[in-house]
């Protein structure tokens, strides 16, 4: 018997709201809840920092001038510029057969679903192989963003990273979310970090040498729906799941509204009005509950 999963497509939300949605889905889950697969984008673009990352590394004035949000993720890792990408998130309840108290089992299964889905686009994607880094990399490892290094089971092509993911466990569920690079705009992360021109050039070159995007691989522009449909098919194959298009439930919407500002960052690490607040009505429209 095939499983039933919820499918959420929530486009047009700002960064803090996106992170609040992921957290709300995870904290409100029960052990026997239906798993969730969610696809989303970022409007406006946003720099997200890992849960423990120092926001002092980010050029908040440049972000503000360019209309780029700065938010904190509920997961770990380093800085990412969310721009030309499709972002996915998965919430697996603790009673699900794929749930594991460790990270690697579920991470591997989700990565396999991503791999099979992206292969449907005719792309030669595979898992990243463990490798030794250069002395230059090790010397700068604290400055390297999420897309600068690859972990086991992450998706790459010819040694270049295509998908960056992170996972966090909650009392009754785990959350995994990640960025699937569609275009090259993530390279502009260098413009939104503090440092000399030489340091920013090093970061941009570093990212360019270690990442690849779907449009480059396909030799044509790929749109959100095309990528989302392929990834969904990969999840259906690996998990034996049927997807039921759904919207955020009322309790989830209320949680999002209460959590949203906790993910918004400014220069001092405190929230302010930098990002355009998502009113309750706007969130309901984006979540399909107009």
Catalytic amino acids?
146
Cα–Cα distance, 183 to 173 (Å, whole number): 32
Number of H helices, E strands in the chain: 9, 12
Cα–Cα distance, 49 to 67 (Å, whole number): 17
Long-range pairs for 268-272 at CB < 8 Å and ≥24 separation? 268/55, 269/55, 269/56
Helix (H) or strand (E) holding 54: none
Cα–Cα distance, 165 to 149 (Å, whole number): 11
Cα–Cα distance, 122 to 144 (Å, whole number): 30
Question: Which residues is 92 bridged to in the sheet?
Answer: 174
Centre a 10 Å sphere on the Cβ of residue 97 and count the other Cβ atoms it contains: 9
CA distances to 104, 118, 195, 257 from 81, rounded to whole Å, are 25, 21, 17, 24
Cα–Cα distance, 228 to 242 (Å, whole number): 15
Q: Specify whether the CB–CB gap between 96 and 44 falls below 8 A.
A: no
Helix (H) or strand (E) holding 160: strand 160-161
Question: Which residues is 73 bridged to in the sheet?
Answer: none
Q: Specify whether the CB–CB gap between 26 and 174 falls below 8 A.
A: yes
User: Strand pairing of 69-72 and 46-49?
Assistant: parallel
Centre a 10 Å sphere on the Cβ of residue 31 and count the other Cβ atoms it contains: 12
């Amino acid at each position: 018997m095939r499983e039933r999963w919820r499918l959420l497509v929530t486009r047009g939300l700002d960064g803090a709201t996106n992170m609040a949605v992921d957290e709300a889905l995870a904290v409100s889950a029960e052990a026997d809840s239906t798993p969730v697969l969610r696809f989303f984008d970022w409007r406006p673009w946003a720099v997200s920092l890992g849960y423990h990352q120092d926001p002092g590394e980010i050029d908040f004035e440049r972000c503000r001038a360019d209309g780029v949000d700065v938010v904190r993720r509920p997961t770990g890792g380093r800085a990412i510029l969310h721009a030309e990408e499709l972002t996915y998130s998965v919430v697996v309840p603790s009673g699900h057969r794929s749930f594991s108290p460790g990270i690697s089992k579920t991470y591997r299964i989700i990565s396999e679903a991503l791999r099979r889905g992206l292969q449907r686009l005719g792309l030669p994607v595979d898992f990243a192989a463990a490798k030794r880094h250069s002395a230059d990399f090790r010397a700068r490892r604290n400055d390297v963003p999420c897309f600068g290094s690859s972990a086991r089971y992450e998706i790459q092509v010819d040694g270049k990273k295509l998908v960056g993911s992170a996972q966090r466990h909650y009392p009754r569920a785990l959350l995994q979310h990640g960025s699937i690079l569609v275009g090259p705009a993530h390279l502009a992360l260098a413009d939104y970090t503090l440092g000399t021109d030489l340091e920013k050039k090093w970061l941009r070159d570093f990212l360019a040498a270690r990442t690849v995007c779907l449009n480059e691989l396909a030799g044509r522009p790929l749109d959100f729906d095309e990528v989302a449909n392929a990834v969904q098919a990969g999840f259906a194959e690996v998990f034996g799941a049927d997807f039921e298009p759904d919207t955020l439930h009322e309790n989830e919407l209320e949680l999002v509204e209460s959590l949203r500002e906790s993910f918004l960052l400014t220069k001092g690490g405190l929230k302010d009005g930098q990002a355009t607040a998502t009113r309750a009505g706007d969130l309901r429209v984006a979540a399909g509950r107009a």
